[in-house]
Chains A and B, each alone.
Chain A
């Protein structure tokens, strides 16, 4: 799987902007490069411009400025039907007046393919999503998950190099969604097709993608593989958006190479990794994953140590979420494994907490 940092990717957005009303930019200065065969996910809150980007790529919206290129060719002025990009819509958009077989055969027909070849390909595509027996049904006679499979098969049957999916699993229940995630990933691996996937479900993004572009406010906040995104968020938005996150706010008070000292608003001092701070004296947000905080005696060996009070215990089966007051923050979460030590915790109890410098990232103020 390629890495998105190559400048001449298979799909490239070059300084793309988009405005619908001429007053506000929905997409601001988008630069994105997607390698061939990559599974790229656009993740972001509602209204952040993900669908807009996808529509520009598919050709249903025109970029207000900037250039989009596919396989080295600029496609700004190529109409959608000539782009040869497969697409899965959120509501599937299966043609209700055609059977499943006719739906799949449609893209082949409009390409002027012969009947026997069409039938072969339709069959192969249906078998790929384990729907071989349903060719004669109408979409209305299928369940949501089955429709989803057909939509997937239809977007792949004409063998496009690039497939776009706009929240394709949004309408499915949790179990089915997880199974489909696996199947889509499986198909992607088998076919080697490039996928651009839109979702606002971070778990989905993390489990499926080679690279995730986190969108907010029309800007890509960070583009990175899932593990990097989680472990090393570039800014406060990404840290808060991906996974659970403790934030502590304060001011930088001394920089030392790659680390810095931060004086929190309640006066306590924290040593953190200097990631996204301009220098001495600026405000910063510290980001710290709950599972990286250690509780009890082990905290003694940590460079950052504080006395904390247990405010709430939430039982989650395999682990216990402990809400604590740390450095004046009442929303500080620590995850404790469900073992003897964890079960013995009481609300109101005082306990030491601590964490390593590498686990605490000093980011932009938020």
Chain B
């Protein structure tokens, strides 16, 4: 009987009334299980139909490209594809002096294998570019050699060294051997301002060639400053809006949201007009005699410019969550605190402020994450000192075409953001976030 009860509980339906051990069927004789399955299959299909398009969209434009990017940061097919024989011959090489003649012979065999010009270029071109990331002039060495290689005769060692001096340097061979694997860490090594020394150890680069770590640091610092600025500016205004009657609050809200409704470029140009050395603010200050003409303040094309412009742009992301949290805090809490003897400032600090923390957390995380990857504003008004890591990534994608390094930098940024979010989650708890 207990079993029958359990079945009844599980399936319910019209058949339940019949009870007993006979097979449960619906009123029109279909086995209940199958009827239920059919009903649920339809529901699942509907759910899939509703979620599907977005899922597909996210997969194609978000998940897939990011996976692709992460793959690019470690993928290293160029040397393996172009020089298979050479790599095999290099296997026993000790990495100190120049490799022996058979290695050069193998290199020759690799390079002449494709007599057809175009196909050879298709392999040696990427090879040159790839090696050039590690050792300058490698690209011209490869291309020049590729042009002449058909006329080489044994002993190949001398022939290669005649064609380009790099073939006589163990450094090039070490790079070829090191990068002769389908996966590489060298983009990450470079992204951390490090390189391989002659013994294959990872060491720091010379001082004047270190860029990325300090740039990461600056990006982090700028994001923290911008987050703090939006908080300092946004908190009072959000508070004020939350205590205003709805209709006045909405008016103020429009002012806060105005940046959202203006094109980024228009806004940025406005900042340029306002902040540049011949701009409105400087001229005004000079006109008032506060500063003299020779000492106009530079507020744009530097870090200040980035901070000012991005604070303005990201302010709504701070104000909106703050406001939506503050709206829900009933005024009776502050009153209760005061009636219990707390001064207005104590009441604010001990009772009101802690309740706004979910909003501060949400706004802070939003602003911080957006600003850490911000690109356009620093590019337009940041000058040299206001650049951020995304500008460097963009440079590698658009100008130096070192996509591997760009991908490594991008992946590090992504992992960094995820790590910070994880930390936030550990410390504060992401479920306390209130995004509006």
Contacts and interface: CB of A to CB of B under 8 A. Distances in A.
A193 to B, nearest CB: 15
Given A81-B342, A81-B343, A97 B330 contact: no
Interface size class of A (residues with CB under 8 A): 20 to 34
B346 interface: yes
Given A96-B355, A106-B350, A110-B346, A58 B332 contact: no
B355 A80 contact: no
B340 A154 contact: yes
A324 to B, nearest CB: 48
B351 A95 contact: yes
A91 B330 contact: yes
Interface string B118-151: 0000000000000000000000000000000000
Contacts of B350: 106, 110
A132 interface: no
Interface string A188-201: 00000000000000
A110 B341 contact: yes
A362 to B, nearest CB: 44
Interface in B219-271: none
Contacts of B336: 87, 89, 93-95
Given A91-B330, A106-B342, A111-B341, A60 B335 contact: yes
B295 interface: no
B354 A107 contact: no
Interface in B314-350: 330, 332-333, 335-344, 346-347, 350
A237 to B, nearest CB: 30
A110 B340 contact: yes
B333 A58 contact: no
A50 to B, nearest CB: 16
A110 B342 contact: yes
Interface residues of B, number: 20
Interface in A127-185: 154-155, 158
A44 interface: no
A107 B335 contact: no
A84 interface: yes
A299 interface: no
Contacts of B351: 95
Contacts, number: 66
A93 B335 contact: yes
A86 B335 CA distance: 11
A80 B335 contact: yes
A58 B337 CA distance: 12
Contacts of A273: none
Max chain B Cβ within 10 angstroms of own Cβ: one of A82, A95, A158? A95
A91 B336 CA distance: 11
A155 B336 CA distance: 9
A53 to B, nearest CB: 15
A95 B333 contact: yes
Given A95-B351, A96-B355, A106-B350, A80 B333 contact: no
Given A81-B344, A91-B332, A97 B354 contact: yes
B330 A58 contact: no
Contacts of A122: none
Interface string A101-118: 000001100110000000
A85 interface: yes
A58 B340 contact: no
B344 to A, nearest CB: 7
A334 to B, nearest CB: 45
Given A60-B338, A81-B342, A107-B340, 11 more contacts: A58-B335, A58-B339, A79-B338, A80-B339, A81-B340, A87-B336, A97-B354, A106-B337, A107-B342, A110-B340, A111-B341
Nearest 7 Cβ contacts at the A-B interface: A107-B340, A93-B336, A87-B339, A93-B332, A80-B338, A110-B342, A81-B338
28 contacts: A58-B335, A60-B335, A60-B338, A80-B335, A80-B339, A81-B339, A81-B341, A81-B343, A81-B347, A82-B341, A83-B339, A84-B341, A86-B339, A87-B339, A91-B330, A93-B335, A93-B336, A94-B336, A95-B336, A95-B355, A96-B355, A106-B337, A106-B342, A107-B340, A107-B341, A107-B342, A110-B341, A110-B342
